[in-house]
């Protein structure tokens, strides 16, 4: 399959085509989420996850002094499970239930169709741009959103920086190609010294673009961005690029357009970016700590009171997947970004 009219393509463009190309990209032609897909997300493991996010949102709304209207925007809503379960939880809080508007920012027409079918009884608006003019405070939710965006990679050899490309000259022999890069020019373009104290760089230009748009939305109004994603806290960046098919890691060049290409978020890099945007990090913690502080264990106990042994076992098995350090508990991190006027540490 001819990708472009030359023999090589930048890594981020290669990933973008593999995931989002209109005629053959993974997200454009199938639902990769779930037991029979390529990966599974926390909302699809247990409703406890979505319930905790709902409780967190209500607490944040209370911190903002109970605004009459608050906008909840999910970035990349997958199969719609999280927002479906959150809306069910909101029904138990009468005042809040009348106070929120739901929005979904989704690129995939196929996933949007799945979402609209699942969420047909809810009042939701789908938006195509983060420049959308919301009225009132906003909470952006990014659960496994940023890891789905294409990345660039740069590596330093003998003091010289190179950008990683993909050699596509031979259809059946795709391979990496490195091309010399003017790092100072690149840093000037993105606006800060990303290469300082680094020998390897991995970042998503699209992530930066989205963060800039979201910063404009929350800088002068109350609101925030909650990021939940697998990632790490080291200041030194590492190569985390991976390709997943049927829940197993495969070679990135093996099944173009048939597998998910992803990476681990460097949350220190996001910190640098939001500092430049004059925003504030309320904290970074693990998914295990975040959900535990919100009361997920206590909620599991309440749910299990009158259940049979087998159903209790299932609830706790799913809980373990969410919070155990050997499962999603430590691998996934949680970060809250707000304007500098807000102080909100629940969950952190």
The answer, yes or no, to whether residue 136 has pLDDT greater than 80, is yes
Cα(270)–Cα(348) distance, integer angstroms: 17
Mean pLDDT of 200-223: 93
Burial of 259: CB neighbours in 10 Å, binned 0-12, 13-18, 19+: buried
- With contact defined as beta carbons under 8 Å apart, do 11 and 165 qualify? yes
CB-CB neighbours of 203 under 10 Å: 22
Residue 334 corresponds to which tokens in the numbers above? 């949680």
DSSP symbols for 291-323? HHHHTHHHHHHHHHTT--HHHHHHHHHHHHHHH
How do 160-167 and 223-232 pair as beta strands? unpaired
- Which residues are CB-contacts of 35 (< 8 A; sequence separation ≥ 6)? none
pLDDT at 330: 96
The answer, yes or no, to whether residue 227 has pLDDT greater than 50, is yes
**Alpha-carbon 198 to chain mean position:** 24
- With contact defined as beta carbons under 8 Å apart, do 238 and 265 qualify? no
How do 70-75 and 100-105 pair as beta strands? parallel
pLDDT at 36: 65
The answer, yes or no, to whether residue 134 has pLDDT greater than 50, is yes
Report the DSSP beta bridge partners of residue 105: 75, 127
**Is the overall model pTM greater than 0.85, yes or no?**
yes
Report the DSSP beta bridge partners of residue 157: 160
Cα(116)–Cα(113) distance, integer angstroms: 5
Give residue-wise pLDDT tens across range 313-346. 999 999 999 999 989 999 999 999 999 999 999 9
H-assigned helices in the chain = 11-20, 26-29, 42-45, 47-63, 81-90, 94-97, 109-118, 183-190, 205-219, 267-276, 287-294, 296-304, 309-323, 328-331
Q: Which domains does the chain have, with CATH numbers?
A: 20-150+204-338 (3.40.50.12710)
Mean pLDDT of 206-223: 92
Place of tokens 């981020």: 12
Binned at pLDDT 50, 70 and 90, residue 191 comes out as confident
CB-CB neighbours of 1 under 10 Å: 10
Largest CA distance in the chain: 65
Residue 111 corresponds to which tokens in the numbers above? 């996933």
Give residue-wise pLDDT tens across range 251-270. 888 888 788 999 999 999 99
Give residue-wise pLDDT tens across range 29-39. 777 676 666 67
Cα(91)–Cα(79) distance, integer angstroms: 21
């Amino acid at each position: 399959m001819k990708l472009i009219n030359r023999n090589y393509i930048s890594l981020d463009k290669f990933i973008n085509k593999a995931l989002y190309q209109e005629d053959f990209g993974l997200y454009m032609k199938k639902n990769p989420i779930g037991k029979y897909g390529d990966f599974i997300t926390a909302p699809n493991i247990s409703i406890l996850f979505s319930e905790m996010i709902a409780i967190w949102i209500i607490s944040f709304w209370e911190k903002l002094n109970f605004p009459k209207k608050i906008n909840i925007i999910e970035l990349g809503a997958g199969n719609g499970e999280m927002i479906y379960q959150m809306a069910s939880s909101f029904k138990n809080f009468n005042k809040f239930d009348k106070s929120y508007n739901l929005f979904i920012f989704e690129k995939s027409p196929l996933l949007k169709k799945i979402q609209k079918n699942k969420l047909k009884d809810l009042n939701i608006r789908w938006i195509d741009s983060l420049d959308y003019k919301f009225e009132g405070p906003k909470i952006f939710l990014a659960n496994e959103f940023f890891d789905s965006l294409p990345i660039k990679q740069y590596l330093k050899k003998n003091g010289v920086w190179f950008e990683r490309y993909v050699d596509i000259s031979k259809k059946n022999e795709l391979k990496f190609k490195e091309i010399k890069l003017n790092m100072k020019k690149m840093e000037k373009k993105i606006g800060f010294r990303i290469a300082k104290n680094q020998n390897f760089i991995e970042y998503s230009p699209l992530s930066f673009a989205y963060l800039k748009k979201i910063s404009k939305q929350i800088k002068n109004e109350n609101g925030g961005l909650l990021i939940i994603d697998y990632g790490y806290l080291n200041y030194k960046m590492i190569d985390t690029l991976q390709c997943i098919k049927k829940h197993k890691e495969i070679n990135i060049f093996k099944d173009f357009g048939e597998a998910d290409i992803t990476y681990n978020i460097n949350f220190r890099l996001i910190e640098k970016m939001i500092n430049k945007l004059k925003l504030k990090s309320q904290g970074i913690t693990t998914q295990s700590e975040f959900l535990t502080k919100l009361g997920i264990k206590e909620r599991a106990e309440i749910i299990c009171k009158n259940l049979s042994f087998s159903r209790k076992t299932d609830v706790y098995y799913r809980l373990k997947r969410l919070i155990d350090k050997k499962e999603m508990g430590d691998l996934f991190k949680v970060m809250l970004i707000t304007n500098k006027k807000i102080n909100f540490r629940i969950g952190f």
